[in-house]
Amino acid sequence: MSASERGRLGDFLHTRRSRLRPADVGLRDYGGRRRVTGLRREELAQLAGVSASYYTRLEQGQSVGASPEVLDALARALRLSAAERRHLHDLAEAAKRPARGRTAHRPPPEHAGPATLALLATLEQVPALVSGRRADVLAWNGLGHALFAGHLDRGAPGNPAGRPNLARLIFTDPHTRALYADWPAKARAVVRNLRMVAGRYPDDPLLASLVGELTVKSHEFSAMWNDHGVGPCELASYEMRHPLVGSLTVTQQSLAIPQEEDQLLVLAVTEPGSPSHEALRLLPHCAPSRGRGAEVRGSREPGRGERRPRR
């Protein structure tokens, strides 16, 4: 067990405890100045049915091995969402494992499989892309490229060493930042999803490197990351300000790909007949990739006799 993993568990518990007030959980507040933000440790311990000393050791990283029942009791006391509850269990599981039993090996490059690419190619009228575990763009169709990153090379997802990364684009790319009218909402959604994945894969060195890079490059990412919010990017509506077709509102849906672990099919859907729908129909005629709206660019599994690209 590493100190950093004990710290992740303790920090998550602390931030979730800090956002609750006694009135939120049915406790009386007898007035007076409270020295802590949110619930006191002994108040949370009371709600969860554990001793205050045990909870204190858990939050301070001095105790591991909390049972699933205790974790569920803490989740109920903290009013955690389903995603937060799972994240709590992931962090506790990572804290239990001995550090010497883990190796930070470099994961192999991710690829969108043939079936996924075939599906992507059928989505001619919908902007779509395939996102990997670390939010790398593994493939996109013509509309997906034109809507999300028309200023980048169409073939970029095919190169594992230079693939666009959705989190990196949101925080370091001026074009992508300007694309979202409510940029903070989109940025928070990206960070919450990345934090959730990091809890599930604490030993992924590429993921840790991405988080470290963004923490250094963006104080906004650092602040959002330190909030310890978690949640999947599943369904959300965003107003986008595209440089070629103007304002449009899209509903972004992220669907799990059953045959590809940790990969998501991200779709941007507009309401039929709406001005946003009409703007999207104009996009293929305005984008540089005119006439190739259905063409898919991205990764695939190397065929027989081919070699995987080196990273």
pLDDT in tens, 45-62: 999 999 999 999 999 888
pLDDT score recorded for residue 5: 64
Taking residues 13-30, report their average pLDDT.
85
Residue 217 confidence (pLDDT): 97
Distance CA 191, CA 261 (A): 20
Which residues make beta-bridge pairs with 298? 139
Residue range 282-306: mean pLDDT, rounded: 61
| Predicted model pTM | 0.86
**Would you say residue 224 has pLDDT above 70?**
yes
- The pLDDT tens digits for 68-89 are 999 999 999 999 999 999 999 9
pLDDT at 234: 87
Supply the pLDDT for residue 211. Answer: 97
Task: Please determine, for residue 198, whether its predicted confidence score (pLDDT) is greater than 80.
Answer: yes
List beta partners, residue 180. Answer: 240
Reply yes or no on whether the pLDDT at 154 is more than 80. Answer: yes
Buried-exposed string 38-77: b where 16+ CB fall within 10 A, e elsewhere: bbebebbbbbbebeeeebbebbebebbebeeebbbbbbeb
Q: How far apart are the first and last CA of the chain?
A: 30
Q: What confidence score (pLDDT) does residue 77 get?
A: 95
> Cα–chain-centroid distance for residue 213?
16
pLDDT tens track for 228-274: 999 988 899 999 999 999 999 999 999 999 888 899 999 999 999 99
**Over the chain, what is the mean pLDDT?**
87
Fill in the amino acid letter for 139.
A
Quickly count: other Cβ atoms within 10 Å of residue 288's Cβ.
11
Query: In the prediction, which pLDDT does 311 show?
Result: 37
| 56 contacts: CB under 8 Å, gap ≥ 6 | 41, 45
pLDDT band at 290; cut points 50, 70, 90: very low
pLDDT of residue 293: 45
Q: Summarize the confidence of residues 217-229 as an average pLDDT.
A: 96
Instruction: Give the residue ranges of DSSP H helices in the chain.
Output: 3-18, 41-48, 52-59, 68-77, 82-96, 114-122, 142-149, 166-172, 174-179, 183-200, 205-217, 219-226, 275-286
Tokens 């809890």 sit at which residue?
Answer: 199
